[in-house]
Chain A
Amino acid sequence: MREAAAVFRKPVMLYSIGKDSGVMLHLAMKAFYPGKPPFSLLHVDTTWKFREMIAHRDAIAARYGMKLIVHINADGVARGIGPVASGAALHTQVMKTEALRQALDAHGFDAALGGARRDEEKSRAKERIFSFRNAHHGWEPREQRPELWSLFNTCLHEGESMRVFPLSNWTEFDVWDYIAAEDVPVVPLYFAAKRPVVRRSGTWIMVDDDRLPLEPGEVPELRSVRFRTLGCYPLSGAIESHATTLDEIIAEMRAARTSERQARLIDGEGGASMEAKKREGYF
C-alpha cells in the first residue's frame, strides 16, 4: 500500500464495505501511522446494498477520518437497472463495472486498491498484486507483468491504470483471524441474527426493503442467518447460522464445507464467468 501511495499520481482505495475492505483499510491506517493514508475511499454504490452496509460505511469513514467518495451510475438508475428487473448479469455490468470505470475516469485515479484475494476463485489465482489495466480499464491476461521478488513494475503511460490487491496472499481464514486479533470493525450482517428471508435458488435471500418482489407463495420468515460475503442484497445468499461472535464464526468456518463465493449468485454461470467480467474492467 505504501508502494502504491509512493509511486502513483492519484491512488484511491475501493471500499466495498465487506470484511476484506475493512481489513485493507485497517492495514492502511497502520501503514501510514502516525499519518493518514494519502488517498480517499471510493464506494461504488449500486443502490441495492443492504441498509446496514451503508450505515456501516458512513460510520467507518467518520471513525477513521477518511474522505469518502460515493459513486452511483446515474445513467443506470435512469434506465431503471436493478438486480431484480434486469437480471444479475446486466445489473453487475452497469451498476458495478461501468460505474467503477466512470468513477475512476471522472476523478482521474491512476491506481485503485482493492481487497480481492487469490483464494476466492480460480481465475483470481493468477491475478497479480499490481494488476495492469489498459486505457479502457481492460484486463488482458496475456499482458500482465511478471512479478518477481518484491519488485513491482508500476510504470504507467497516460491513461493507463493499475489495480492493486494488497491482500492477494490472504485466505478467508487469515482475514477472520486478523479481524479477531485486531478487533477490526465489520458489518453486523456477518453475525447471525434473526432476519426476514425467503428461500431462492437453494439459498436464503434477505428481504431488506420493499423493492424485492415476492414470488407467488413466498412469505418472508424470520430465521437466524448470517452472510459470508456481502453484495447487493437480492444477490447475496445467507447461511443459516447461530454464530454471533467472531470465535463462533471462525469455528463454524473451520467445520464448513462450502466456499464463500458459493452464495454469490453472479458466479454461477460456469467457472470462467469472473474472468470474462474482469476483462471488461470488473474487479
Chain B
Amino acid sequence: MARDLLRFLTCGSVDDGKSTLIGRILLDCGVVPDDQLAALERDSRRFGTTGDALDVALLLDGLDAERQQGITIDVAYRYFSSANRAFIVADTPGHAQFTRNMATGASNCELAVILVDARKGVLAQTRRHSFICALMGIRHVAVAINKMDLVAFDQAVFDRISAEYQKFAAALGFQSVTLLPVAARDGDNVVHRSTRAAWYQGPTLLEYLDHVDVRQDAATRPFRFPVQYVLHPDPDFRGLSGTIASGAVAVGDGIVVAASGKATTVKRIVTFDGDLLQAEAGQAVTLVLADEVDIIRGDLLAPPRDRPEVADQFAAHVVWMSDQPMLPGRSYLLMCGTRLVPARVTLLKHRIDINDLSERSARTLELNDIGVCNIATDQPLVFDAYAANHCTGAFILIDRTTHATAGAGMIDFGLRRANNIHPQSHSIGKAERAAALGQKPQILWFTGLSGSGKSTIADLVEKDLHRRGIHSVLLDGDNMRSGLNRDLGFSDADRVENIRRVGEVARLMLDAGLVVICCFISPFAAEREMVRDLVPAGEFTEIFVDTALEECIRRDPKGLYAKALTGKIPNFTGIGSPYEVPVQPDLRIAGAMEVAVAVDAVVAWVMARQG
C-alpha cells in the first residue's frame, strides 16, 4: 500500500459531462465489475440520456432522489488505480449550490479536473469553480475540454479556449495548469489516446494523473503534531497519540507544547510494530516525552525554533455552509486540529463575489457565501497560516444549537499576540465584593416572547428580593436599547450583538456582587448559551416565560403585535422573526401560572442558592 495516492476533485457546470468522464475513467481502467456493467446496461435503458448506448455517468449517482432529478447533489467518492498510483476522486456537483460541496470535496484534494464544454468555452461557472479551487489551496488543475466530438476535434477551438483559460487563471496563482482535448462519452484522450485529434501531442487524462507531481513537501515543513489522544494504559506508560500533520521528528528532538511553551524532548516513538527512530508526516504514532509535562487532547507539539502562532484573534476566509446565516457576534464552536474552542466573528470585512472576485460589503454570510472575517476565540489558539500548512491552518465552525457544521475557514494571519494581553488582576474581586454585600451573586435571565410577562414577573421578583435585603439590578430590553445599544436594530445580526453586549454588562454586574435580573426576548438559543458560558457554572439561571403566542397577541400591552401583524414592524419576534424555544430551561413559567406563584418560585430558587 506504499503506492502513491492522488486525491483529485472534478468540477464542471451541469451537463459538461463530468459524470460521464469519471464513469469513462472507471470503465476504461477496468474497475467496473461485470455485474455492475450489467446493472449499468439495465439502468441506461431506464434512466439514461444517451439513447441505447451505455450511459457511463450512471455508474456514479448514488442517492435515489438525485438520480431521479438527474443531478449529483453532494460529494461522492470513487476509487480506482493504475499501475502507478491509487486515486480517490471527489465528485462534486455543478449546479448553483455548489460552493459548499466543492469546498468540502476540495479540502482533501491535491488537484482538480475542471470540465469545459468545447461548444461553450470558459463560462462564469468555470471561473467560479477555479476560484474556489484556488481558495481551498489546490495548486494543480487540469482543464478537460470535453465534447470535442461535437466541434469535430477542431484544434482552433481547443487553442482558443486554452488561451482564454490561461489568461484568466494567471491571477489565481496555480502552480500548474494543463489543458486536454477529450470526448468523455466516447473515451477520446481519457484513458485511451484519441485517433481523431492527431494534432494533440500531450498526455491523455490518465497519463497526466499518473505522472503529475503534486508533492507539497509535507515532510520538509516544520514538525506539527496535534495530540489526538493521551494514552495512559498503566502508571508506567504515558504516550501522546496522533498523526504527524507535517514535518518529521526523531528520538532526541527537542519539542515544545505550542500553547504553554513548555519544552522537553522526544524519548520514544512507539508503534505496534516496534519503536521507531524517526517518523514523518502522515504516520500515526505515539510519542513518549522525556519529562512529565501537562498535555491534553487538543495541544500541538512543535519544534522550539519553528513554532506556530499563538493568538486569540486572527483573519480568515470563511465559506458558509449552513442555511442559518453567519451572524457576527454569535458564538460558534471552532475546531482546529484536535482543539475545540468557542469563537466569534468579530468583524465581517467583506463578502467575495465569486462571479468577478470583487469585494462586496455584507453584514451576514448566507449559505454558499465566502467572506473575509476577523475571528476571536475564547482561549488562545495555536495555528499556522493556511497557505503554510493546511493541517494547522484550517478550521470549521459548528453551530452551538444544532451542532451542524456551519462554516469552513482558512486562517490568513494572526492579529494580535495573545501573550501580550494579560487580564488585570485586582486585589478586590468578585468574591470580596459579594462577601461585603453578604450574598451570592447570580444572573436571572428571563426569556420569552414580547408580552409574555417577563418584565412584570421580574419587577415583582426584584421587589421581593429587595425586601429580603438582596442587592440587585434589573437590565431590561427597552432600557438597554435606549442607551448602550441605541445603535442596534432588529436584524438577526443586531439581535446577536444586542445580547452579546447585554451579556458583558451582566457579567460586570455579577462581578460587582449583585443578583442581576435580565429581561430580554433573546430569541436565539445560541446567544442565551453564550451568556451562560460567560460566567461560572451555576451562576446563570435561564427562566423561560412560556406564554403562548396567541395569548401574547391577545394581551398586546404595547400594541406591537397589532402593528407587526399588519406588516408595520417587519422583524417582530413571533411574527416575522423566529423565537427558538429553550429546550431545557432551568425554570419554566407556564403561561397559565398565577403571577404570584411564578414570583414565589423564582424567589425560592434564588434564596435556595444564597446558602
User: What residue in chain B is nearest A153 (Cβ atoms)?
Assistant: B405
Near B by CB (< 8 A), chain A positions 4-32 give 5-6, 29-32
The answer to whether B33 has its CB under 8 Å from any CB of chain A is yes
1/0 contact string of A114-143 vs chain B (CB within 8 Å): 000011001111100000000000000100
Smallest CB-CB separation from B108: which chain A residue?
Answer: A149
Interface centre among A36, A173, A177, by most B CB within 10 Å?
A: A173
Which residues of B306-325 have CB atoms within 8 Å of chain A's CB atoms?
321
- Residue B396 at the chain A interface, CB threshold 8 Å: yes
Contact of B391 with A150 in the complex, beta carbons under 8 Å = yes
B197 to chain A, nearest CB (A): 31
Do A153 and B403 have beta carbons less than 8 Å apart?
yes
Give the one of A33, A148, A157, A178 with max B CB within 10 A.
A148
Contacts of A276 in B (CB 8 A): 64
**Interface pair A36/B233, CB less than 8 Å apart:** yes
Contacts of B64 in A (CB 8 A): 272, 275-276
The answer on a CB contact under 8 Å between B61 and A122 is: yes
A78 proximal to B (CB < 8 A): no
A25 to B39, CA, bound (A): 33
In the complex, whether A86 has a CB less than 8 A from a CB of chain B is: no
Q: How far is the CB of B235 from chain A (nearest CB, A)?
A: 12
B237 within 8 A of A: yes
B200 within 8 A of A: no
Give the residue among B35, B81, B321 with the most A Cβ atoms within 10 A.
Answer: B35
Query: How long is the Cα–Cα vector from A83 to B273 in the complex, in angstroms?
Result: 42
Q: Is the CB of B104 within 8 A of A148?
A: yes
Known interface pairs A6-B297, A146-B321; A126-B35 also in contact (CB < 8 Å): no
Contact call B228/A3, Cβ cutoff below 8 A: yes
Q: Is the pair A151, B395 in contact by a Cβ cutoff of 8 Å?
A: yes
Which residues in chain B, 207-263, are within 8 Å of chain A measured between CB atoms?
A: 228-229, 231-234, 237, 239, 241-243
Nearest Cβ on chain A to B323's Cβ, whole angstroms: 11
Please give, as numbers and ranges, the residues of chain B lying within 8 Å of A3 by CB-CB distance.
Answer: 228-229, 338
Q: Which of A124, A126, A174 has the most CB of B within 10 A?
A: A126
- The count of A-to-B residue pairs whose CB atoms sit within 8 angstroms is 135
CB distance from A13 to the nearest CB of B (A): 16
Q: Is the CB of B271 within 8 A of A30?
A: yes
The stretch among B72-80, B349-357, B558-566 that forms the contact with chain A is B72-80
B365 to chain A, nearest CB (A): 15
B580 CB → nearest A CB, Å? 14
B101→A35 contact, CB < 8 A: no
Option from A33, A119, A256 in Cβ contact (under 8 Å) with B286: A33
**Considering only CB atoms and an 8 Å cut-off, how many residues of chain A contact the other chain?**
49
Of the listed stretches A95-103, A204-212, A257-265, name the one at the interface; the rest are far from the partner chain. A257-265
Contact B398 A169 (CB under 8 A): no
B34 touches A146 (CB 8 A): no
Give the chain B neighbours of A36 by CB distance below 8 A.
233
In the complex with contacts A256-B33, A259-B36, A153-B335 CB distance below 8 A: yes
* Pair B104/A126 contact, Cβ less than 8 Å: no
Give chain B residues whose Cβ lies under 8 Å from the Cβ of A79.
none
**A156 in the interface (beta carbon within 8 A):** yes
Q: Could you tell me the distance between the alpha carbons of A259 and B35 in the complex, rounded to whole angstroms?
A: 7
B279 at the interface (CB under 8 A from A): no
B71 to chain A, nearest CB (A): 13
A145 and B62 contacting across the interface, CB-CB below 8 Å: no
B284 on interface, CB distance cutoff 8 Å: yes
B199 at interface, CB cutoff 8 A: no
Is A151 a contact of B396 with CB atoms below 8 Å? Answer: yes
Closest Cβ of chain A: how far from B563's Cβ, in Å? 37
Q: B335, A118: Cβ atoms under 8 Å? A: no
Question: CB < 8 Å: which of A35, A157, A271 contacts B39?
Answer: A271
Please name the residue on chain A nearest to B229 by beta carbon. Answer: A2
Q: Is the CB of A156 within 8 A of B403?
A: yes
CB distance from B58 to the nearest CB of A (A): 9
Let me know if A145 and B63 touch, CB within 8 A: no
- Chain A residues whose CB sits within 8 angstroms of the CB of B140 once the complex forms: none
Chain B residues 375-396 with CB under 8 Å of chain A are 390-391, 394-396
Contact A34 to B237, CB < 8 A, known contacts A3-B228, A150-B391: yes
Cα separation A271 to B79 with both chains bound (whole Å): 19
Closest to B59 in A: A122
B233 near A123: Cβ-Cβ < 8 Å = no
A151 and B394 contact, Cβ closer than 8 Å, known pairs A145-B405, A169-B88: yes
Cβ-defined partner of B233 (8 Å) among A34, A174, A181:
A34
A171 to B385, CA, bound (A): 34
Could you tell me the distance between the alpha carbons of A36 and B104 in the complex, rounded to whole angstroms? 34
Bound: A123/B67 CA distance, A: 11
Within 396-452 of B, Cβ neighbours of A (below 8 Å) are at 396, 398, 403-405, 408
Decide yes or no whether A106 CB sits under 8 A from chain B.
Answer: no
Q: Per a CB cutoff under 8 Å, which of B36, B62, B391 touches A149? A: B391
A24 vs chain B, min Cβ distance (A): 14
Do A126 and B63 form a contact, CB below 8 Å, given A155-B403, A259-B36? yes
Interface of chain A residues 212 through 261 with chain B (CB within 8 A): 256-259
Contact in complex: A6, B228 (CB < 8 Å) = yes
Whether B43 lies near A271 (C-beta < 8 A) is yes
Is A147 positioned at the interface, with any CB of B under 8 Å from its CB?
yes
Closest 10 CB pairs of A and B: A35-B233, A30-B272, A155-B403, A33-B272, A148-B107, A259-B33, A257-B34, A146-B104, A122-B62, A2-B229
Q: Provide 30 A-B residue pairs closer than 8 Å at the C-beta atoms, listed in order of the A residue.
A: A3-B229, A30-B272, A34-B231, A34-B233, A34-B237, A36-B233, A122-B60, A124-B62, A125-B60, A126-B76, A126-B77, A145-B404, A145-B405, A146-B101, A146-B104, A146-B408, A148-B107, A148-B396, A149-B108, A149-B390, A151-B395, A153-B335, A153-B405, A155-B403, A174-B1, A257-B33, A258-B35, A259-B35, A262-B33, A271-B39
Q: What residues make up the interface of B, taking CB atoms closer than 8 Å to A?
A: 1, 33-36, 39, 43, 60-65, 67, 74-79, 81, 88, 100-101, 103-104, 107-108, 228-229, 231-234, 237, 239, 241-243, 270-273, 284, 286, 297, 321, 333, 335-336, 338, 390-391, 394-396, 398, 403-405, 408
